[in-house]
Amino acid sequence: MNVVRSLLLAGSESRWLRERATKLRFVRGAVTRFMPGETLEAALDATRTLGVGTVLTQLGENVTDLEQARAVARHYQDVLERIRQSGLDVEISVKLTQLGLDLSREECEKNLSTLVERARALSRWIWIDIESTAYTDRTLDIYRQMLAAYPRVGVCIQAYLYRTAEDLKTLLPLGGGLRLVKGAYREPPDRAFPKKSDVDENYFKLADRLLSPEVRAKSVRAIFGTHDPALIARIEERGRSLGLPPEALEFQMLYGIRRQEQERLAKAGHTVRVLISYGEAWFPWYMRRLAERPANVLFVARNLFAR
Ligand X SMILES: Cc1cc2nc3c(=O)[nH]c(=O)nc-3n(C[C@H](O)[C@H](O)[C@H](O)COP(=O)(O)OP(=O)(O)OC[C@H]3O[C@@H](n4cnc5c(N)ncnc54)[C@H](O)[C@@H]3O)c2cc1C
Q: Is 27 helix (H, G, I), strand (E, B) or coil?
A: helix
Classify the C-alpha dihedral 132-139-97-278 as positive or negative.
Answer: positive
Between 121 and 230, whose beta carbon lies closer to ligand X?
230
Q: For the chain, how far is it from start to end, CA to CA, in angstroms?
A: 34
Verify binding: residue 236, ligand X, rule CB under 6 A: no
Q: How many residues line the site for ligand X (CB under 6 A)?
A: 23
The single residue of 179, 209, 273, 289 carrying the catalytic annotation is 179
Q: Are 237 and 211 in contact (CB under 8 A)?
A: no
Report which residue type is found at 147: L
Cα–Cα distance between 68 and 74 in angstroms, integer? 10
Q: Which stretch binds ligand X (CB under 6 A): 73-81, 109-117, 161-169, 253-261?
A: 253-261
Q: Is 129 known to be catalytic?
A: yes
Known catalytic membership, residue 179: yes
Residue 201 interacts with ligand X (CB under 6 A): yes or no: no
d(CA 137, CA 140): 5
Nearer of residues 55 and 119 to ligand X, judged by Cβ:
55
Candidates 118, 129, 186, 200; catalytic one: 129
Q: Which is nearer to ligand X, 100 or 177 (CB)?
A: 177
186 binds ligand X (CB under 6 A): no
Binding map of ligand X across residues 162-181, x = CB under 6 A, - = no contact = -------------------x
Q: Kindly provide the residue ranges of all beta strands, DSSP E only, lying in the chain, ordered along the sequence.
A: 53-58, 90-94, 126-128, 153-158, 177-181, 221-225, 250-254, 271-278
Binding site for ligand X (CB under 6 A): 129-130, 156, 158, 181-185, 225-228, 252-254, 257-258, 275, 289, 292-293, 296
